[in-house]
Structure 1
Amino acid sequence: MQSLQESSPQFFSRDEQLVLEQPSDDWDLVLGDGPVVATAIHDGHAMRDSLLPYLAFSEEERRRDEDPLTGMLAVVGDVRLTVRTSRFEVDLNRPRAKAISTNPADTWGLQVWKGPLPDAELERSLAIHDRFYAMVGSLMDEMIERWGCVLLLDIHSYNHRRDGADAEPAEPHRNPDIDLGVTTLDPRRWGRVADRFAEVLRGHEVGGRRPDVRENVRYEGGGHFPEWLYSTYGERVCAISLEYKKIYMDEWTAQADIAVVEQFRAGLQDAVDAVRGEFLACR
């Protein structure tokens, strides 16, 4: 476990509470006073114009594999971080070396780019990755100093109808309504929190039934973002990745059921409230 990074004054200052000194066009960051951070780093769809000629697939295909509306779930955080930039411009949940890939094996068989990108375009995208991790490092340092520990909710969604609009959905056994990634938190310190968090999510009805909530079903390991948090901050950050099955929308038409989104949000808020005391007690 590495020691805390030194705070980066170019990102934040503190008066009575934390103040963002350097906003970014690539994400929105709302700062409240509390130990819960909610992120939606794949919510965005924006892509800079200079990259569009190199894209090998359509805007609709790109949107299908982004995580639309996850930013609406991130409102449960005291601190809310929603990325505007598409994961296909730069994937902030992957290490820098793989944040932009021209290999379909890295993108579920999708051919994202027509060929290798110019070096100048690669560097512009990778600069976003660098700024993001520098900013989050500064934010975590500030919040740990203030609260002692942090609950970070890494919110995503996933497709379950990849075979087509008229095909059968993926079988439920391997596709829970909410898959909780808890491989990158310290189980001795936060195992009870993760269990309570899941229990509350299961108890909150969505679409007239209790949701199927399980742990570590779809992904054996966490993404780079929670792995980086754990390797940097250890038990001081409890990172839970939430993968919501896209039962709140039609993957193929992009039509959303806002009532279901709101039910997911309410359940997530209840789960946060149920474990908040553990993090307030770190002070």
Structure 2
Amino acid sequence: MDDVHDAARGHFTLSPRLTEIDPSPHWDLVLGEGPILAVALHDGHAMRESLRPHLAFDDAQLRRDEDPLTGLFTDVGDSRLCVRTSRFEVDLNRPREKALSADPEDTWGLRIWRGPLPREELERSLAIYDAFYATVHALVEQLLARWGCALLLDIHSYNHRRDGADLPPAPQEGNPDIELGVTTADHARWGAVLARLGDVLRASPVAGRPPDVRENVRYPTGGHFPESLYARFGERLCVISPEFKKIYMDEWTGQADLSVLDDLRAGWRRAVAEVRPEFLACR
């Protein structure tokens, strides 16, 4: 317990309850009592003004490759962390050396930036990156000390109409409505949780039909965020990375379909509620 308190010192205080000592302008963190932490890494669109002259993209292009509205799915968490800052200012789901990259090979072949970025811009983004990971590590250590195990939901969305607004969407075969990224979850310990989560999601209609829910289809190798957490915390932490296909919005105009969004959120809430007892039982 002393080691946990040492690691968390400078980030959280336990008096009168778990509280962030120095909140960051780059994310919103709401702390509650329970073993579930829901995170939306790519929900944000904010970008510092000093980076904007270097952009080759406009605002609409940036939004298309962010994960708008995923912060709404974090309401299942006892604690909720929504990043305000755009993934293009700092991508928290990549290794540190690629957190702000001007190489199109790191951004799906898209040229986001006009050219190489100044060193001072890279350093400012890396400072955000380091502060974020220090905060998450300290918070997870507190959750594990309090509950014995924890569920971290790493929530994302993905595009399926990249070919154009008026062209057919990507084939369903490789693009499930909800992908559950479970590349790091210890199946020996958490296999029943993963199966139950998927079953409840499939039984929760979206736009009048059962959603297509599968594991590790589009992103079979996972992201840096869950991989790094597994490397640090092991099987005590179950990390699941749902990817919601943007059937809840028009990815070209940004307009949301509120009915589909409500269906997805309702099914997601039911699914997480079904697996919650597994994590409460770790105490």
TM superposition shift of 1:9:
2.0
Match of 1:36 in 2: 36
2:38–2:76 CA contact under 8 A, matched in 1: yes
Secondary structure in 1 matching 2:30:
strand
Between the two proteins, what is the percent identity of the paired residues? 63
Equivalent position of 1:160 in the other structure: 160
Distance 1:251 1:11, change over 3 A: same
Q: 2: CA distance between counterparts of 1:127 and 1:262?
A: 36
1:97 aligns with 2:97: yes
Q: Could you tell me how far apart the structure 1 residues matched to 2:4 and 2:243 are?
A: 28
Of 153-162 and 254-263, the range deviating more from structure 2:
254-263
Written as runs of structure 1 = structure 2, the 5 A alignment for 1:2-13 is 6-13=6-13
Give the whole-Å Cα distance in 1 for the aligned partners of 2:273 and 2:212.
20
Letter of the 2:30 counterpart: V
The superposition leaves residues 148-174 of structure 1 with CA deviations (integer Å, 9 ceiling, x where unpaired) of 000011000000000000000000000
- What is the match of residue 26 of structure 1? 26
1:140 aligned to 2:123?
A: no
Aligned to 2:231: 231
Quote the offset at 1:265 in angstroms: 1.2
Contact kept, 8 Å, 1:6 with 1:141, in 2: the verdict is no
Alignment gaps of 5+ in structure 2? none
Is contact 1:7-1:142 (8 Å) kept?
Answer: no
| Alignment match, 2:173 | 173
- Structure 2 length-normalised TM: 0.97
- Give 1:251's aligned residue: 251
> Which amino acid letter does the alignment assign opposite residue 164 of structure 1?
G
Instruction: Report the counterpart of residue 122 of structure 1 in structure 2.
Output: 122
> Kindly tell me: are residues 60 and 240 of structure 1, through their superposed partners in 2, closer, same or farther at Cα, counting changes over 3 Å?
same
Report the alpha carbon displacement of residue 108 of structure 1 after superposing the two structures with TM. Answer: 1.1
Q: Which amino acid aligns with 1:91?
A: D
Aligned residues: 281
Coordinate RMSD, CA, aligned: 1.2
Aligned partner letter, 2:125: S
Determine the structure 1 residue equivalent to 2:279. Answer: 279
CA, structure 1 residues 120+75, in 2 after alignment: closer, same or farther (shift >3 Å)? same
1:241 aligns with 2:223: no
Match of 1:141, SS?
Answer: helix
Q: Which residue of 1 aligns with 2:192?
A: 192
Contact 2:8 2:141 in 1 (8 A): no
Shift of 1:19: 1.0
Deviation of 1:4 (Å): 6.5
| 4+ residue runs over 6 A deviation | none
Query: Is residue 4–residue 232 contact of structure 1 (8 Å, CA) maintained in 2?
Result: no
Question: 1:237 and 1:264 mapped to 2: Cα distance?
Answer: 25
- Residues in 1 aligned to 2:25 and 2:145: alpha-carbon distance in whole angstroms: 27
Q: What is residue 268 of structure 1 aligned with on the other side? A: 268
The gaps in structure 1 that reach 5 residues or longer are none
